[in-house]
Amino acid sequence: MNRRVAWVFLLAAGAGLLGLCKLASQTPEIPDPVKSGRELAERLRKAGPAKSASFDGLMLIVRPGKTNTIPIASRILVTESNWHVRYVAGPGLAGEVLTVVRSSSKPNEYFSTDPTTNSAAKPLSATELFQPFAGSDFWRIDLGQEFFFWPEQRQIKNQMRRGRACRVLESRNPKALPGTYGRVVSWIDVETDGILKAEAYDNRDRLLKEFLVVSFRKVDGQYQLEEMAIRNQKAGEETRILFDLSR
């Protein structure tokens, strides 16, 4: 499992975590935040997996006084023109199915499938992207990183995060509706272009969710994502995904 593929499963994103690169104590200002932001967002949109892969793990949905554990699987299929990321969550892996079709040249396409029937995959509308995946705190839009396709992208600063040098990217949604994301701030690892942290704000600029990389460990000489979490600040709830790195 290579670094780029590991991060693809992370909200359908790119690489593991390694290296000791650090920014200088005096971080230089960004000469052109808009230009830098657009270039960074474009690079992240185009960062696809090198080969097909599969992942299995557990999704822990933490609620006050209760934790619901759901098996989760992801299958990544790389084609000549795009790559498909399929998520299956639920008892016996027969629950909700979400497929994200990604391409370096056009916005994502999202499809939902009912695994209990033979019905065709249903395309999802923009509104449906802001609905939970399998009852978790992850929205469908999170798994596709749709915010990197928004028209307003700015690199607002460089900053250390967990001992890593990061570029901080602010993505704004000019057509944000109530209950959706109006702004997402992402801490992008300089060396790998992987997301270490992200904060999502609503259309009134109130913090809705916080995404964090919780842990990673060395597998076959490379650091791989082991656990990630997304926290619903408004509801005081959290969902964690744990990857099986033994395969």
pLDDT at 119: 66
Q: Are 143 and 11 in contact (CB under 8 A)?
A: yes
pLDDT at 5: 40
Q: Please give the Cα distance from 10 to 144 (Å, whole number).
A: 9
pLDDT at 193: 86
pLDDT at 118: 61
> How many residues are given for the chain?
247
Domain span holding position 204: 3-243
Number of structural domains in the chain? 1
pLDDT at 200: 96
Q: Which residue has the tokens 């919780």?
A: 214
Cα atoms found within 13 Å of the Cα of residue 37, Cβ hemisphere only: 24
Q: Are 210 and 231 in contact (CB under 8 A)?
A: yes
pLDDT at 75: 86
pLDDT one-digit tens code per residue, 101-130: 988 778 889 998 876 666 678 899 988 999
pLDDT at 82: 87
pLDDT at 117: 64
Choose among 247, 231, 245: nearest CA to 16.
245
Choose among 195, 87, 218, 80: nearest CA to 147.
195
pLDDT at 247: 61
CATH code (residue 9): 2.50.20.10
pLDDT at 76: 87
pLDDT at 233: 84
- pTM for the model stands at 0.81
pLDDT one-digit tens code per residue, 162-198: 888 999 999 999 989 998 999 999 999 898 888 899 9
Q: Which residues in the chain come in under a pLDDT of 70?
A: 1-28, 91-94, 115-119, 216-224, 245-247
